[in-house]
Structure 1
Amino acid sequence: MRLLHFLLVTLVAAEDGLDGWLRYAPLDLGHKHVSFPTSIVALNSSKDSPVYTAGLELQKGFKGILSQNLKISHDGRPTSSAIIVGTVAEYSKTSNKPLNAPKLKEDGFWLSTHGNTVTILGQNERGALYGAFEYLSRLAQGDLSPATYATSPDAPIRWVNHWDNLNGTGTHGSVERGYGGDSIFYKDNVIYQDLSRVTDYARLLASIRINGVVINNVNADPAFLTDKYLEGVARIASHFRPYGVKVGLSLNFASPQLIGGLNTFDPLDPSVVEWWRTTTNKVYKYVPDMAGYLVKANSEGQPGPLTYNRTLLDGANMFAKAAKPHGGIVMFRAFVYDSVNLKESDWKADRANAAVDHFKQFDGQFDDNVVVQIKYGPIDFQVREPASPLFANIPKTNVAIELQVTQEYLGQQCHLVYLPPLWNTILDFDLRVDNKKTLVRDVLSGERFKRNLGGYVAVSNVGVNSTWLGSHLAMSNLYAYGRMAWEPTVDVKATLDDWTRLTFGLDKSVINTINKMSMQSWPAYEQYTGNLGIQTLTDILYAHYGPNPPSQDDNPWGQWTRADADSIGMDRTVWNGTGFAGQYPTEVARRYERIETTPDDLLLWFHHVPYTHRLHSGKTVIQHFYDEHYKGAETAHSFLAMWKSLKGKIDKQRYEEVLFRLVYQAGHSIVWRDAINNFYHNKSGIADKSKRVGNHPWRIEAESMTLKGYAPIAVNPFFTASGFKGIVTTSNAPGTATTKVNFPSGTYDLAVGYYDIIRGKANWKVYINDKLLGAWDGDNEDKLGHWPSEFLDGHSATRITFDGVKIKKGDTIKIVGTPNGPELAPVDYIVLLPKGIID
């Protein structure tokens, strides 16, 4: 591709992120003379039509990118020097020119750009809109080279799921596992009258070729099926329709009993079957083009057919038969496991076995409009999991993969984690069914097992925050998801560069820097959270955010590590463990059955080994833990310098907002590093050969300072505090903690480790010799958007850093903490960092 390198118009106005990658920032052509189209012909005049929308989008794009005002006509008479956009069928009716375009799949498009003549034709209207966005993307990235090509989607299903709740209010917001603010659809049991944000979102989804959106939580409220709310659902659908995005609904299996007046929700009861048929007919009267239903049944307390000793097959096919006359799809989640009777004391018990155990027996019996929606790994969006073996076990059933754009276990948008490289480990995995090449992505497309229906679903959970996901950089995951769902072999680095050019401009240093940071981010996050396949060592009983490895064990949720004083890891072998490895086809099962052939990055997923077990690298498991956690934190710190190098090249608002999160991530990576290392050091009794764990020569523990109005407090979990203790104020009055510096005089970065809990906004001030160095408030719950904590723990632990502070030996450092409500201005430590030292 030939790129003309333009200069962006000088950045003067701050940007809030609302336009995402559809900013259409102006380009300066300099002295180059380029001929552009002077009009737009959109081959449909219906305002609900994606072709009509394509015309408006092209008009908007030309206005923003090239400062040109193009008129739109719908008369069907293409002219020279025009952009013609429409379907292949409409173009054939109105043009005398032969069309030498290849045959397109559903939603595919053909794009031809030659000078001032541009032709954009879709297999359907949605495809035409996709082609318009493709053309504008090329323009916005400065690519004016002639091009003629066709592209079609790899799979027909390219959906996003939302976990929005009707009644969500308060601190946690109305989106379960959402980190970008409250719902764009509802608040306080009311569907918004002003749905302009839905239109904005529809544009973003259409531009990355998403064709379906489920608008409510899989833990579904049955009220959505009542007339009161279906009227609002119809309004929401009307905002998505012009962008070719169909709306779907999550269902509560018990709805016939909860809102239908029946005394049962048994899927084989004729009254229940009739209730769902009648209700579905009503739903489609409100939304005739509805995509279909999403069902979470018999998992995590949700009702389902197993309540009546019926099968999952009975439940799925009941919905399928109700939706079939309307062309509806039933997405039936494979996320089904018993969280009541799962006992870690049973060596053979394993939540990872659940999907195959529940679904394999029904392969080939699901109705043809049922799609089994399978999480990418056998557990739950962990930092590394093997590909779900269910993809290999139901070859006669339609399947879709469930990915997660919202970073539930992966930093909750507070940590930069670019997810496509993780997704590639799953999509490119060869399951070797019948000893033949069986890539997961070829199962999803239907190519491997000759299925016509399947594809991709991502939990996206955007919110009312202007950045949509709560973080500017996190939007790269949503963009890349759409591109990968269309073509799973797309280069994730090149896709990232496309997103960066569209989002931040054409400056090469900006593109290269964001690419480097992003491509390092998932490996770094894995390093400082949980390696060797042990899963993300977060607190699974509370916020799913900060570190708490012991929370993984001794509970019925099945995300076990089986860590004791001598050994760690799940034995999932057939010969001695849970048998999970045997769920894979023979070649893969054989590889994972033996320690010698299991890759190190999944060792503890498949095997229970001593901490002293030596990896293929030669290191012991425990030393690998220590080393990797330090490396990961170092990488997280390196993001700061990289980002700061872009100051002045990115508008001030987005620069500062990203900087805030990267500073936070650097500090929280230290929290993760120390918590995990301290825990396993304490658990195993094995020292770090490099003598780093528990040894922080530049720290001053808060409890060792001279305290007035402050008192030491034990932190729980103990390993989430430096020295296992912190300090809190003893009354509603300010407290002080003072110390004299015994380090050599010099210039340091001064950091304060503290805890920022909810329902209070304490204030801290730090002084050098009674001169104020800086002050801050405990308001991370407002700034970060992740699920906050009410305790001193790994979720609330954070730190603030003041760069380049000149300190003399003997100087006095004083912290003054003013409590607010339950937030008692807690402090963990002070650290003085010489240049080049990462605590």
Structure 2
Amino acid sequence: MMHFVLVLFLALGLAKAEDGSHAWLRYAPVPNPNGYRSLPSTIVALNSSKSSPVYTAGQELQKGIKGIFGKSLSINDTGKGPSSVVVGTAEAYKKNYGEFDEADALDEDGFFLSIEERRVRIIGQNQRAALYGAFEYLSRLAQANFSLVSYVSNPHAPIRWVNEWDNLDGSIERGYAGPSIFFRDGYVMENVTRAAEYARLLASIRVNGIVINNVNANAALLNERNIAGLGRLADAFRPYGVQLGISLNFASPQDFGGLPTFDPLDPTVDVWWANVTNKIYSRVSDFAGFLVKANSEGQPGPLTYNRTLADGANMFARALKPHGGIVMFRAFVYDHHLTPSNWKNDRANAAVEFFKDLDGKFDDNVVVQIKYGPIDFQVREPPSPLFSALRKTNTAIELQVTQEYLGHQDHLVYLAPMWKEILEFDLRVDNRPSKVKDIISSARFNRPLGGSAAVVNVGTNTTWLGSHLAMSNLYAYGILAWNPAAQAEDIIRDWIRLTFGFNRQVLDTVTEMSMKSWPAYENYSGNLGVQTLTDILYTHYGPNPASQDNNGWGQWTRADSVSIGMDRTVKNGTGNAGQYPPEIAMMFENIETTPDNLLLWFHHVPYTQRLKSGKTVIQHFYDAHYEGAATAQTFVTMWESLKGKIDEQRYDEVLFEQVYQAGHALVWRDSINQFYYNMSGIPDQAKRVGNHPYRIEAERMSLNGYEAYAVNPFHTASGYTAIVTTSNGTVGTATANITYASGTYDLAINYYDLIGGKSKYEVLINNRTVGAWTGDLEDRLGHAPSIYLDGHSAARITFKGVKVNKGDTLKIVGFPNGIEPAPIDYVSLLPPGTID
């Protein structure tokens, strides 16, 4: 009977569609709720102010317990009974209950959680710490973890921020989930409800600060109306203990303030920034501080006046110091007009070159925010050597939740394993243990500040990030910022239980998909440390390895007909290896001790260079791209196995993403392999590259109203060529006789889905329609792919179980729309289970 009740309960739990807006805070009913016999009867919140995080904690506890157990608890601000959950600060607890022995063990933002029989104590070092403890307690309950415990939880580092790259017009740079939740038409939104909901999500993972605007900042944020808007946002964040920060444009005193200069050592500039800062604090008393991008990618900065970066950072620090604010000063400073013909040039050297000699010259409320690797959020990078070079300067690591170079949330890439590798990397400063995670806290160099910042870029999409599964990365960021010792697999399993419930198959399947996703993406997008082989000059999305060389941006692969990779050795190359402490420098300098997964990051080698596996570099490329794309195909069948075990809306939306990723992974595979095959002239030992026995090339079909089109980049089309309609008003048809054996096939069609048009297509066998679709991915994906036929707009649709006979006529009819000329690349007839 109990088994029947549980099955019925779970079935009912799946009946209601979910849109992802609750993320991991669903507070869904748990199986066997009676297993928790210690549920208190009341909630005591030791604060009566509605703007207090302790008050919020009481409300959250009431909401969570109601959702999880169906039981309504009253909230009081005092109480002595034995059956209550008490939440408050250590100071308030002592005042109401007497001594609190664990008080001395609490660091700033730390909390104590004690779950006894019908008595729960959640005591924070400060108010937001009490809220963190409440979310911790609810997370345990929501995962049906009813164990009796007593422990202190302290943060690894004091700074746990997120950065949002929102623009005042409502757009978001590198955002894939719709428009801004903070800005519209040049101003802070009047309605801040959605912003408050986001602050709640952040508080639940113990994020304590949010910078709301793009690092490429617009000085108009500092006008009177927007400063008033900042106040509204801060008021919305405050009940969740999340402090507001903003990005600044360094040239604001001149461009916005009317001064003749923005020289950081000019007294009038100093006074101007002090006045602006005072004005902000008059409206936002708990303002967190400023984030500054200076002298990078065309942004203004102190170097304009031959001042140092420290001079610039300290100018802001002086303005903030009286108020207790901090400056997050980005180390992302480099020359994007490098000369590629000079083999000593190396963008990866820039951060150390700009900042090393400034160590100790920054004020103590400046934190240098360092991207995790020396380039720019690539699929694999070594940790930035700047972490080891700044010993007297506060530092924070910059991670990226928004998947700028990693599939724009339309490819599943669970990032916690990547972040763990960076955080656990031991840089061996002075031949002593020096893990990155201990450098960014105060542990290794005994500095007052440090921590983490993550570029997130939530939008108005109900899923927050544009994809249900991508939210695991935001959750993981918060957990690792608080405790970098947490394990990536443990984090994802907690997230799955909170997001999708308790079905064991769901738990195991989504865990497996997630843990395989980063290695798969690395395999089909760029391996051996060569970087993500995407188009760095356009969308940072689809494949285009040629775009990375022979330009000033410095994300070079140095690929030619015989060799590939950056020589970053001291002996022959750019010297980047020598920026690391001696033990690590020696490892990277020597090709024999450099890990294969960073080989092409540090060494320029022939395609025939043997790896430790025994394979050549080029054969590894071929094999890895096939293996990664094959893994992406399995994500579809794995997710399909969960039908009926997840609510229909989220099941369908994730299935769409996985099917899309599977198709685009094949675009990546073929494009990269074809490029390097053409470049090197070395064939694939397995004879796969350029050999596609199941394909019918569209340009070889009989065309009416269609014409052949040479695609650029050439390798983003099978056979380098696609077909397009002869005009935007001409219906095109492409026909071919089927030469394959009679049987049942999966009919896959690769096409291009451009921004600016929604072509319609119909596919027929002997004039019998077997499928139709619309090229509307610009509406369905979280990003806008491309206005060109290329690796960004390339896509695939598959119609399964199509019966054909040898000699049948295959016909595709394309109806162009707008600028989109119903483009087709090829058709594949695949025996079931076959990967093209």
CA distance in 2, matches of 1:721, 1:705: 15
Q: C-alpha displacement at 1:33, in angstroms? A: 7.2
1:52 partner letter: Y
Q: Which residue of 1 aligns with 2:124?
A: 122
Q: Which residue of 2 aligns with 1:432?
A: 428
Deviation per residue, 1:235-276 (Å, 9 max, x gap): 011111100000001000000001111011011111111111
Distance of aligned partners of 1:503 and 1:33 in 2 relative to their CA distance in 1, 3 Å threshold: closer
Q: C-alpha displacement at 1:713, in angstroms? A: 0.6
2:617 partner letter: V
Q: Which residue of 2 aligns with 1:282?
A: 279
CA distance in 1, matches of 2:427, 2:366: 23
Aligned counterparts, 1:20-419, within 5 A: 20-29=23-32, 34-74=37-77, 76-96=78-98, 99-100=101-102, 103-168=105-170, 174-340=171-337, 342-419=338-415
CA distance in 2, matches of 1:99, 1:84: 16
In the superposition, the TM-score normalised over structure 1's length comes to: 0.98
Say whether residues 1:571 and 2:574 are aligned partners: no
CA distance in 1, matches of 2:100, 2:629: 60
1:479 partner letter: Y
Q: C-alpha displacement at 1:101, in angstroms? A: 5.7
Q: Which residue of 2 aligns with 1:552?
A: 548
Residue of 796, 800, 807 corresponding to 2:797: 800
Residue of 753, 776, 783 corresponding to 1:786: 783
Say whether residues 1:668 and 2:664 are aligned partners: yes
Distance of aligned partners of 1:28 and 1:422 in 2 relative to their CA distance in 1, 3 Å threshold: closer
Q: C-alpha displacement at 1:99, in angstroms? A: 4.1
Distance of aligned partners of 1:765 and 1:123 in 2 relative to their CA distance in 1, 3 Å threshold: same
Q: C-alpha displacement at 1:190, in angstroms? A: 2.9
Say whether residues 1:420 and 2:422 are aligned partners: no
8 A Cα contact 2:33 2:69, kept in partner: no
CA distance in 2, matches of 1:654, 1:36: 31
Residue of 634, 639, 645 corresponding to 1:638: 634
8 A Cα contact 2:187 2:221, kept in partner: no
Distance of aligned partners of 1:581 and 1:35 in 2 relative to their CA distance in 1, 3 Å threshold: closer
8 A Cα contact 1:767 1:773, kept in partner: yes
SS at match of 2:151: strand
Q: Which residue of 1 aligns with 2:616?
A: 620
CA distance in 1, matches of 2:726, 2:663: 26
Deviation per residue, 1:326-354 (Å, 9 max, x gap): 000000000000113x1110110000000
2:453 partner letter: V
SS at match of 2:112: strand
Alignment gaps of 5+ in structure 2: 1-5
Deviation per residue, 1:700-749 (Å, 9 max, x gap): 00011111111111000000000110001112132111112111122211
1:126 partner letter: R
Q: C-alpha displacement at 1:32, in angstroms? A: 5.2
Distance of aligned partners of 1:339 and 1:97 in 2 relative to their CA distance in 1, 3 Å threshold: closer
8 A Cα contact 1:564 1:683, kept in partner: yes
Q: C-alpha displacement at 1:27, in angstroms? A: 2.3
Q: Which residue of 1 aligns with 2:737?
A: 740
Q: C-alpha displacement at 1:636, in angstroms? A: 0.3
Q: Which residue of 2 aligns with 1:492?
A: 488
CA distance in 2, matches of 1:96, 1:220: 50
Q: C-alpha displacement at 1:836, in angstroms? A: 2.6
Residue of 760, 767, 777 corresponding to 2:757: 760
Q: C-alpha displacement at 1:220, in angstroms? A: 0.3
Q: Which residue of 2 aligns with 1:585?
A: 581
User: Percent identity between the aligned chains?
Assistant: 66
SS at match of 1:695: coil
Residue of 448, 466, 485 corresponding to 2:462: 466
1:29 partner letter: N
Q: Which residue of 1 aligns with 2:644?
A: 648
Q: C-alpha displacement at 1:776, in angstroms? A: 1.2
SS at match of 1:392: helix
Q: Which residue of 1 aligns with 2:452?
A: 456
Q: C-alpha displacement at 1:805, in angstroms? A: 1.8
CA distance in 2, matches of 1:834, 1:34: 56
Q: C-alpha displacement at 1:28, in angstroms? A: 3.9
Alignment gaps of 5+ in structure 1: 169-173
8 A Cα contact 2:368 2:394, kept in partner: yes
CA distance in 1, matches of 2:117, 2:159: 35
1:546 partner letter: G
CA distance in 2, matches of 1:360, 1:383: 26
Say whether residues 1:475 and 2:477 are aligned partners: no
CA distance in 2, matches of 1:374, 1:812: 59
Residue of 671, 676, 681 corresponding to 2:677: 681
SS at match of 1:582: helix
Deviation per residue, 1:117-144 (Å, 9 max, x gap): 1111101001100000001101110111
SS at match of 2:228: helix
2:655 partner letter: L
CA distance in 1, matches of 2:29, 2:184: 36
CA distance in 1, matches of 2:249, 2:784: 25
Residue of 695, 699, 711 corresponding to 2:695: 699
8 A Cα contact 1:726 1:828, kept in partner: yes
Q: Which residue of 2 aligns with 1:595?
A: 591
8 A Cα contact 1:101 1:150, kept in partner: no
Q: C-alpha displacement at 1:438, in angstroms? A: 0.5
SS at match of 1:596: coil
CA distance in 1, matches of 2:634, 2:32: 35
Q: C-alpha displacement at 1:31, in angstroms? A: 6.8
1:154 partner letter: H
CA distance in 2, matches of 1:12, 1:836: 32
Q: Which residue of 1 aligns with 2:3?
A: none
Deviation per residue, 1:172-207 (Å, 9 max, x gap): xx0000001100111221322221111111111000
SS at match of 2:468: coil
Distance of aligned partners of 1:586 and 1:96 in 2 relative to their CA distance in 1, 3 Å threshold: closer
Q: C-alpha displacement at 1:96, in angstroms? A: 4.0
Say whether residues 1:562 and 2:558 are aligned partners: yes
CA distance in 2, matches of 1:33, 1:290: 41
In the superposition, the TM-score normalised over structure 2's length comes to: 0.98
8 A Cα contact 2:754 2:787, kept in partner: yes
Q: C-alpha displacement at 1:100, in angstroms? A: 4.8
Aligned counterparts, 1:495-514, within 5 A: 495-514=491-510
Say whether residues 1:824 and 2:821 are aligned partners: yes
Distance of aligned partners of 1:98 and 1:796 in 2 relative to their CA distance in 1, 3 Å threshold: closer
2:85 partner letter: I
8 A Cα contact 1:78 1:84, kept in partner: no
CA distance in 1, matches of 2:104, 2:511: 34
SS at match of 2:592: helix
